[in-house]
């Protein structure tokens, strides 16, 4: 357990106070204009003893929204709201990254009165969470010109995050959202420069990484990935080759870390030969963040076994703002319950 509480050096720019990270947790608590609130600032500040906080997923432009009241980082008012959050975290000695998000085909015109855009015209079946009356639409496939604009919008969102006082950004390339939709055959049916081969299917993700690195520096950039399709997507054995290529390319780039996006790391995937975390560890040379239903004890065991370097904690941090202190002292944790989502504590 002591290893978890030791400082951890990511790079020349960032050293974390410990190996814990706060996983991005969508709470749908932004105010009018999708502006972060004072309540959100207090919520994050109470957890500032965690080595690195990853903010709730934050939309890069209006058509990236897929859930009610999720914060943005594209307007002056949103940037000002986030400054209150980052200022509160820094005042308590913490570090915080903004997670940059576009949901792609998981959006709905209800939120932005515009077309739903995605790699291909393949709808996700089902309804919008928290708004079950909204059925997912068939998206329009992005043009290559629109993809280029999205790359620029991601880079601008990263610059906005630094302006808002964040210590860096995490690119949300996981969990079946826009970037992940390009990386999986179930959602990418393209035959142009962004589909059909591992090189083409990886292109958008790499262009986003390169654009953000050029704008704010790779030392301040993390990337969340889901090589195993388990939510919002169906898996395909051909996806393995896409991620093999993507990770080879990422090994040639400067990143703060790669973060596995999964709810339960005990899941195994035939085409990955087991757990997604083990697949990433075997192929990515940089710092790896594990997550997916780990306790402090099981995380310590995994880190000692060199399965990953840091651990992202999610729902236990919703239930226990004082998570780190309780773990240090060996105190019992308050169990998480869905009812806790109704308020920021």
- Bridge partners (DSSP) of residue 8 are 16
Which residue in 195, 203, 259 sits closest to 227, CA to CA? 259
Q: What are phi and psi of 144, to 5 degrees?
A: -65, -35
CA-CA distances (angstroms) from residue 172 to 98, 224, 327, 343?
A: 10, 5, 28, 24
Q: Identify whether the C-beta of residue 3 lies closer than 8 Å to the C-beta of residue 304.
A: yes
Q: Are strands 288-291 and 221-225 parallel, antiparallel or unpaired?
A: unpaired
CA-CA distances (angstroms) from residue 145 to 95, 213, 307?
A: 36, 21, 40
Select which of 177, 230, 279, 284 is catalytic.
Answer: 177
Q: Identify whether the C-beta of residue 16 lies closer than 8 Å to the C-beta of residue 8.
A: yes
Q: Which residues contact 43 (CB under 8 A, 6 or more apart)?
A: 27, 29, 321, 344, 345
Catalytic annotation present for 177: yes
- Residue 51 burial (C-beta neighbours within 10 Å; 0-12, 13-18, 19+): buried
Pairwise CA distance, residues 263 & 175, whole Å: 9
Q: Per this entry, what is the length of the chain?
A: 345
Pairwise CA distance, residues 344 & 177, whole Å: 25
Supply the residues annotated as catalytic: 177
């Amino acid at each position: 357990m002591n290893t978890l509480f030791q400082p951890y050096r990511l790079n020349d720019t960032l050293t974390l106070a410990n190996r814990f990270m706060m996983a991005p947790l969508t709470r749908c608590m932004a105010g009018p204009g999708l502006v972060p609130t004072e309540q959100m600032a207090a919520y994050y500040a109470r957890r500032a003893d965690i080595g690195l906080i990853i903010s709730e997923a934050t939309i890069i432009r209006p058509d990236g929204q897929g859930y009610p009241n999720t914060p943005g980082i594209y307007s002056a008012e949103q940037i000002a709201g986030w400054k209150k959050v980052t200022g509160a975290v820094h005042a308590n000695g913490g570090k915080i990254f903004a997670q940059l998000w576009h949901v792609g085909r998981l959006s709905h015109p209800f939120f932005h009165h515009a077309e739903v855009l995605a790699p291909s015209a393949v709808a996700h079946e089902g309804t919008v969470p928290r708004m079950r009356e909204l059925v997912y639409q068939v998206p329009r496939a992005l043009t290559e010109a629109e993809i280029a604009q999205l790359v620029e919008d991601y880079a601008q969102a990263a610059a906005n995050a630094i302006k808002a006082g964040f210590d860096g950004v995490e690119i949300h390339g996981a969990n079946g959202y826009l970037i992940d939709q390009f990386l999986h055959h179930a959602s990418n049916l393209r035959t142009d420069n962004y589909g059909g081969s591992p090189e083409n299917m990886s292109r958008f993700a790499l262009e986003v990484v390169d654009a953000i690195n050029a704008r704010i520096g790779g030392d301040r950039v993390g990337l969340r990935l889901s090589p195993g399709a388990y939510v919002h997507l169906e898996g395909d054995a051909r996806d393995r080759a896409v991620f093999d290529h993507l990770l080879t390319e990422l090994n040639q780039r400067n990143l703060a870390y790669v973060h596995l996006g999964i709810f339960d790391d005990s899941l195994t995937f035939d085409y990955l030969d087991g757990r997604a975390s083990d697949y990433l560890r075997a192929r990515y040379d940089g710092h790896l963040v594990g997550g997916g239903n780990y306790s402090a004890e099981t995380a310590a065991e995994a880190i000692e076994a060199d399965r990953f370097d840091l651990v992202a904690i999610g729902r236990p941090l919703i239930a226990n703002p004082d998570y780190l202190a309780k773990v240090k002292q060996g105190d019992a944790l308050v169990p998480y319950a869905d009812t806790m989502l109704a308020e920021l504590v």
